[in-house]
Structure formats: C-alpha cells, structure tokens
Amino acid sequence: IIDATIATTADGWRLDRALADAVPTLSRERLKVLIASGAVTRDGQMVRDPAKRAAAGDRLSVAVPVPTLPHNEAQDIPLVIAYEDEHLIVIDKPAGLVVHPAAGNLDGT
C-alpha cells in the first residue's frame, strides 16, 4: 500500500492527475485503472472516479496488487521452414498468425 497526501499545488486537479503528482512511481494511466478498480481510498472511503476533484491535504491510499508473472509455454504450431542454417531461419508464416503473445492473443502465437 502506498500512502500519499495531495499537495496544495494540486488542489482542484482531477484525482488521477493529482495522485500521479503525489506518487511519481506510478503512471497516470495505471492510477486510473487502480482508481476504477476500487484500489484507492480517500480518508478511508473507496474512490472509483478518476475525474473527481482532489483537495489539498487529501490523504489517499493506493493498494497496488502484486504483479503476476506471465506464463508463456511453447506450442506445437506447424510451420513451413523455407531456409535454415546455423545463423538464420526463414519461416513461411501463414497470414493471420500472430508472432508474439499480447493482449487478446495470449495463445497460438
């Protein structure tokens, strides 16, 4: 949990912006997600709207979840190897095959 106090210079700012100013180790976008998920409290009360106005002296607590490690596993995907030597491999990749895992494509890449 990260505790922060809104500075007088951030009085009246959007909560996500004021909190990003108070907690520079977290990005404003990350803070928006944490606020919307209920991980931020103001004086003990949950705050879910990142557009709410902050007031100087507000005491906020941010519960940052422990990151989960990605678990990528090798998959047996049939590929056509067009050329291979000790330094280079050329794959004839089928159209539509995603080449690396990402949001929305965690499997079959």
The predicted-structure confidence for 15-60, as pLDDT tens digits, reads as follows 999 999 999 999 999 999 999 999 999 988 999 999 999 999 999 9
Query: What average pLDDT score do residues 56-71 get?
Result: 89
Residues 6+ apart with CB under 8 A from 38: 46, 48
- H or E stretch covering 83: strand 80-84
SS3 (DSSP) at 28: helix
Using the structure block, give the residue that is written with the tokens 């931020």: 40
Q: Which residue has the higher pLDDT, 9 or 108?
A: 9
Which of 60, 63, 49, 59 has its CA nearest to residue 14? Answer: 49
